[in-house]
Each structure stands twice: as structure tokens, then as C-alpha cells.
Amino acid sequence: MTRAPSNCSRPDQPHVKILALTHYYPPEVNAPASRMSEHARAWTRAGHAVTVVTCAPNHPAGTLYPGYRNRAFQRENVDGIEVIRVWTWLAANEGFLPRILNYVSYFVSVLVWQWRLPKADVVISTSPQFFCGLAGWLLRRRRRPWVLEIRDLWPESIIAVGAMKRGPVIRALEAIEGWAYRKADLVVSVTDSFVPHIRARRPAGAIAVIKNGVDLALFGPADGEAFKAAHGLTGKFVAAYVGTHGMAHGLETVLDAAEILRERRDIAVLMVGGGAERERLEAERARRGLDNVLMLGQQPKAAMPAIWAATGAALVLLRGLDTFKSVLPSKMFEAMALGVPMVLGVEGEAKKLMLDAKAGIAIPPENAPELAAAIVRLADDRAFAERVGQDARAFVERNFDRARLAEDYLVLLDDAVDRAR
């Protein structure tokens, strides 16, 4: 396995033209959007030309963000990055068929408009979604080399959460998955744990690991008191889940823990975000009468530091499935950057990283009593919580500064361009 060295792009290297394909991009606020945009900004600051091909922003509700239209082809300049948005079939982040139409329409749009995309020295395409990753293959004949970034093991993950059963369609997708791994000039994984899966389908060829991180310039010290005052949380210890409310996360556990904590009037549970399970969870909260749970919709990226600063315990949760042992939730790094102790209900690589960082309390996935007990410990032992938060911030500064990770990535791209030349 090839790993990116921890140094900047070499000074003798010519500036490269990077074409990046991603289904999600700001103002969307999910992990793929953050990763690509933060890398692209760093590469642009280093003097490279970056073009991003994406969709009109609509995640997770499938509704266009204010000020945007779902046109066939449109350009804008964001932070010195050329952002090209192509038409897609808009769909909420729920339901297999609408989402597949959304994903395939992006692939078709790239195919239709490839003649209008700028020439580049290297093309990067990121998965998920799967067909965005494949779109890179369309462009590799004229724009070599092709770097395929793997953010999720798809279609394995959709089987794991029960969104689809194994059958002819899944087998076909798995065949395409293996073909893409073999055809890419370089595969970049976001976790160490993905590598054996990729290597089994890519017997030869480079595989690198560039993990997720956090923009420390954005996620620095922040004041959360104004946020708490605006939402009736002043004086309360806040345990927050911030992120997608999806099938993978098992967020019923949060409501179960809140029910256990109902008599602790000094503790509030905050849930921020949208997703396929959002409406069901809101209805369940109302049915149980959980007035200690506050649910807010998706918030802009700029609001995240204040939300984390208002938080005493960051809830990082996934269902207890083997597939998720290979996942590193991006919210881990944001919470650590703000010095917020975690309660981590994820096994595998995420748990090892958190324990190495001394960044919180590990609990079994989908275990409400353990979740409630961990929240109480952090609420009642503020000295412990403060020590954990300080360790978490120091760890992420040393290891997961997004600017440094972008530099490591750039070295890989330089090397790939060298080999092509």
C-alpha cells in the first residue's frame, strides 16, 4: 500500500490542472462536500488550477438551495475554484430508486458535457456516490491520470443498512465496483480499514490513504453561549448529535437515552441535521413527549463552530454492523477540533482512533443505557470532560489538520502526473 508522505508539494513541480468530480459541494454541508471543498481551496492557494464538477445544491431534502437553479450547465467561481454545476434529477436522500436516478443523471450529464470541461493533468472522482466515481473513467482518455477516491464501500453499505437485498442488481454493481478499482491509476481511501476490501478487488496498482480531517482555521475556539441562549439551552449541559439522520446511524438510541435522562433537567439532548429518518424521529420524539430533546434542521457550515462550542458531549453513533467498523465519521474531527469530548458508539477504526486520542468515552453501538451513563459522566465530572477535550484538540492539531492532509494529497497528484508525463 502506498501512503502519502507528510510534506508539501515539491517546489520543482509545475503547477497542475486538477479536475475534480463530486456529487456534493458547498453550500451543502455533508462530509463529501467539506472534504472536496477544503482540499480544493488548499490546492488553489498552492497555485494549482482546480475545476470542480458537481450538482446544483439540494442535499439532503432534494430541494434546491435558495439562489440556485437546476440548469443543464452553469459556471461560478468560488474561492478561486471554477465550479461547474450540471443538471441532475433532484431527489431526497431516501428511497433507492429516486436516489439512483439522481446519481445516474449526474453520470449522464458529465457524459453529455465532457466536451465543455477544461483540459486537465489529473482527474479525481469521489465515491459515494458510485456513479460520480465512475464518471472519472469517462474523462481519463483525454485527461490522464484518473484518481478514484473511495469514501464508502458502496454497494456493500446499502446492503448493510437494509436498503437493498443482494441480488442481480447488487451483483452487477459489485462487478462494476471491482472494474473501477482495477482501471483507476490510483485509488485513494479515506480509512485504513477500506484497504483490504479494495486490494482484494485491485490485485495490483497503487492504493493510498488520505483520511478526513478538519479545517482548523474554521473550527477554532468559538463562543456557544449565544446559540444556547437562542434555543433555550442556557445553563444546560448539551449532548449533541450533529449530522445526517439516516438509516446507518441508529438514532432511535438517542431518543431512548433521552428518555432515561428525562428527570435530569440540567441535561438537554440536541439533534441537528436532516436525512431519511428525520421525520420519523421527530414523530417519535413527539409521541414520547421528550421535551428534553431539541431537533433542528440542517445548519450552514458557518454555524457549526458555535453549535459544537455549545456542546458538552458530541454523540458519534452508527449501527452495530460489521460494515461500519471500517468507517471514520467526519464529525469526530470537528468535535475534537473544538475540544468537545465524544461519546462514540462505533466499533473498529473509529474506536481505536478515539482511544488513541483519549478524546472521549467508547460505548457499544445502539446501547441507550451506556449512552445515557456516558452523558451523565461528562455532565457531572467537568474536570474529566475538560481534560478529554484538551487531549482531543491537541490530537487533531497534530494529526488531522485538513491543510496538511491536502498537501499530502497534492504530493500524490504530482507523482501521478509525473508518471503520466
Tens-place pLDDT, residues 190-232: 999 999 999 999 999 999 999 999 999 888 888 899 999 999 9
Average pLDDT over residues 260-280: 95
> In whole angstroms, what is the distance from residue 204 CA to residue 116 CA?
33
Distances in Å between the Cα of 351 and the Cα atoms of 58, 348, 357 are 32, 5, 10
Label residue 142 by pLDDT band (50, 70, 90).
Answer: low
Q: Torsion over CA of 252, 272, 23 and 54, rounded to 10 degrees? A: 170
Distance of CA 162 to the CA centre of its chain: 21
The DSSP output letter for 364 is -
Residue 313 has, within 13 A of its CA and on its CB side, a CA count of 31
* pLDDT tens readout for residues 224-238: 999 999 999 999 999
Q: How many CB atoms lie within 10 A of CB 312?
A: 20
What does the alpha-carbon distance between residue 253 and residue 315 come to, in Å, rounded to a whole number? 11
pLDDT confidence bin for 355, thresholds 50/70/90: very high
With 70 as the cut, is the pLDDT of residue 12 above it? no
Show the domains of the chain with their CATH numbers.
Answer: 17-213+401-420 (3.40.50.2000), 225-399 (3.40.50.2000)
> C-alpha grid cell for residue 276?
431519511
Block residue for cell numbers 485513494: 188
Average pLDDT, the chain: 90
17-59 pLDDT, tens digit each: 999 999 999 999 888 999 999 999 999 999 999 999 999 999 8
- Identify the pLDDT of residue 158: 63
Rounded-to-integer distance, Cα 49 and Cα 221, Å: 32
Show the CA angle centred on residue 94, arms to residues 93 and 100, nearest 5°: 80
The burial of 95, by beta-carbon neighbours within 10 Å (0-12 exposed, 13-18 middle, 19 or more buried), is given as: middle
Rounded mean pLDDT, 303-326:
94
pLDDT band at residue 98 using 50, 70 and 90 as cut-offs:
confident
Contacts of 405 (CB under 8 A, 6+ apart): 39, 210, 211, 213
Enumerate residues 6+ apart whose C-beta is below 8 A from 209: 1, 3, 4, 188, 189, 190, 191, 192, 195
CA 370/CA 320 separation, integer angstroms? 14
Assigned C-alpha cell, 163: 436498503
Peptide bond into 129 cis (omega under 30): yes
**pLDDT attached to residue 247:** 84
Q: With bands split at pLDDT 50, 70 and 90, how would you rate the model's confidence at 345?
A: very high
- The pLDDT score that the predictor gives to residue 173 is 78
Instruction: Answer whether residue 157 shows pLDDT above 90.
Output: no
pLDDT greater at residue 404 or residue 248: 404
User: What per-residue confidence (pLDDT) applies to 5?
Assistant: 39
Q: Determine the average pLDDT of the residues in 392-421.
A: 92
Give the mean model confidence (pLDDT) for residues 53-82. 94
Q: In the chain, pLDDT over 90 holds for what percent of residues? A: 72
Which secondary structure element, helix H or strand E, spans residue 176, and what is its range?
A: helix 168-183
Q: How far out from the chain centre does Cα 94 lie?
A: 17
- 137 pLDDT band, cuts 50/70/90, is confident
pLDDT at 72 over 90: yes
Q: From CA 271, how far away is CA 308, in angstroms rounded? A: 12
**Residue 11, pLDDT score:** 46
pLDDT of residue 176: 84
Mean local confidence (pLDDT), 142-170 = 74
Residue 6: is its pLDDT beyond 70? Answer: no
